[in-house]
Amino acid sequence: MAKKPVLVVLAAGMGSRYGGLKQIDPVGSQGEAILDYSIYDAHQAGFDTVVIIIKEAIREDFMATVGKRLQKAPVEIRYAFQELDKLPAGYTIPEGRSKPWGTAHAVMCAAEAIDGAPFAVINADDYYGKSAFRVIYDQLASSTDPNGHCMVGYELSKTVTDNGSVARGVCVTNDEGYLTGITERTRIEKREGGIAFTEDGEIWTELAPDTTVSMNLWGFMPSMLTAMAELFPAFLDKSLPVNPLKCEYFLPLPVAELTGSHRATVKVLTSPDRWFGVTYAADKPMVVASLKAMTDEGKYPDGLWG
C-alpha cells in the first residue's frame, strides 16, 4: 500500500531580510507562528505527518516555542537538520562559508524523515491558504506516476509586498498545465506602474501581474529525492569555483533539470488564495491583522491547538 503524503516545512533559513528568527515569530492570538496555521490547514487537508527542517543552532529556541506548542497538534512531528557539512563524499565546506546550501539541499537533509513517502514542501514563513493544501494533498495521494510531480502556482500580484523585494520562481507552463520552465528571480519589486525584476539593480524588466510564480509549495514523489542527490554534485562542481560562499541549490534547479530533460513532469495546480508572509519585519502587522480577521470569520479557532 502506498504511503500517505507527508508535509515538509523549510524552517532552516537565516531570515536575513527579516532580521531575526521569523520561523518562530508569533502572529496568532495565542502566540502561533505562520507555520502553525500551515500545519493546521495541512492537517485539515489530510496530512498526518509533518517533517520540520531546522538548524541545530536554533533547535533550543525552536523547541521551546513552536515545538512545545506542536506537541498538542493532532499530527506526528518529525525533525530534520540542515547543516553545512552534509555534503557528498569528497566535498568540503569552503573556508568562510556560513550560508546554508539552499532549499533543495534542505529537503535532501530530510530524506530519512520523509521515509519514502510522497511529500509536499512549504516555507515556514509563508501563508498559503487552505485550498492550496487540499489540491496538493489530493494530487499526491492519487498520483500513480513515480516521476509525476506537482506544484501550486500563484498569481504574481498576490505574492508581492509593499516593503521591499521578494524572490520568486517565475514559471512557464504549456497548454496542458505542465511546467516547461522556471527561473528563480531573487529581486522582484512593486514599481511605479507595475511589478518588475532586476538582476543588477540597474535594468528592470516588467512582469505581468498574472504571471504564475512558485512560492515553494511543491509536491514531489519519492523519486525526486534520488534525483536531487544525483544532481547535487554537478551543481557543486559548477557553482563552487564561481561563488563558493553564497551559491545555493534552490528547489527550482533540479526541477528545471528534470523537466528540461523530460525525466519528470510537474503539473501546475492553482489556488485562488492570497499569499502573505513576513519577508520583512514591516510585513508583520498586516499578517497579524489578516489572521485575526480570518479567526473572527470562523476560519480558524482562537487558539489553534486548544
Q: Is 128 in contact with 122 (CB distance < 8 Å)?
A: yes
φ and ψ at residue 211, rounded to 5 degrees: -55, 135
Arithmetic mean of pLDDT, 68-87: 96
Whole-number pLDDT of residue 14: 47
Spatial neighbors of 118 by CB under 8 A, at least 6 apart, are: 2, 3, 5, 6, 140, 141, 143, 219, 220, 221, 222
Whole-number pLDDT of residue 222: 97
Q: Quick check: 118 pLDDT over 50?
A: yes
Whole-number pLDDT of residue 22: 58
Whole-number pLDDT of residue 17: 46
Over the stretch 234-263, which tens digit does the pLDDT of each residue have?
999 999 999 999 999 999 899 999 999 999
Whole-number pLDDT of residue 21: 64
277 band by pLDDT with thresholds 50, 70 and 90: confident
Whole-number pLDDT of residue 20: 53
Arithmetic mean of pLDDT, 273-286: 86
Looking at every residue in the chain, the average pLDDT score rounds to: 92
Alpha-carbon distances, residue 163 vs 24, 68, 199, 276, 281 (angstroms): 20, 31, 19, 12, 9
For a pLDDT cut of 70, what percent of the chain falls above it?
96
Over the stretch 164-208, which tens digit does the pLDDT of each residue have?
999 898 999 999 999 999 888 989 999 988 999 999 989 999 999
Whole-number pLDDT of residue 207: 97
Alpha-carbon gap, residue 94 to 92, rounded angstroms: 6
Q: Quick check: 1 pLDDT over 90?
A: no
Model-level pTM?
0.92
Alpha-carbon gap, residue 143 to 145, rounded angstroms: 6
CA 140 to chain centre: 16
Arithmetic mean of pLDDT, 209-233: 96
